[in-house]
Amino acid sequence: MRRAKRCTILVVDDGSPLRFIVRRILEGSGYIVKEAGGGKAAFVAAAKWPIDLLLTDFMMPGMHGVELAQRLSKIPTLFMTGNPIALKAAYGKMPPMVMKPFTKEQLLEAVSRALKHS
């Protein structure tokens, strides 16, 4: 039997408590998780490891998630946000997203959908 590829997800959020929770959920579901606290750290991580999905907060100091996604455009992106209207305005259309606060099930469903459409 052929083993399925384990996907690597780069979680980018300026809040370390949220990154910790998201990491636990994703690793508990078999994903490989790399973390970054902002845009600059995300670039370092994306250069170091092959990333299958960028899971990024929309509103972050310094570089917001849309700019990060545009600069890492070869990586499929799923946004985490509590403000979908501002995200849509910044992105130009409604991008793949999971609405904060989210449940474990909502996060895993959104990640699964984003990976299927990548």
The 10s digit of each residue's pLDDT in 96-105 is 999 999 999 9
Could you tell me if residue 76 is inside a domain? yes
Give the per-residue pLDDT at 1: 39
CA 14 → CA 36, 62, 89, 91, distances in Å? 8, 10, 21, 20
Number of domains forming the structure of the chain: 1
pLDDT at 42: 97
User: Tell me, what's the pLDDT at 5?
Assistant: 61
pLDDT value, residue 2: 38
Q: Which domain holds residue 31?
A: 8-111
CATH number at residue 81: 3.40.50.2300
Confirm whether 79 is domain-assigned.
yes
Distances (CA, A) of 25 to 48, 79, 95, 107: 23, 16, 22, 8
pLDDT in tens, 50-82: 999 999 999 999 999 999 999 999 999 999 999
1 within a domain of the structure (yes/no):
no
- The answer as to whether 75 is a domain residue is yes
Contact between 53 and 74 under an 8 Å Cβ cutoff? The reply is: no
Q: What is the pLDDT of residue 109?
A: 97
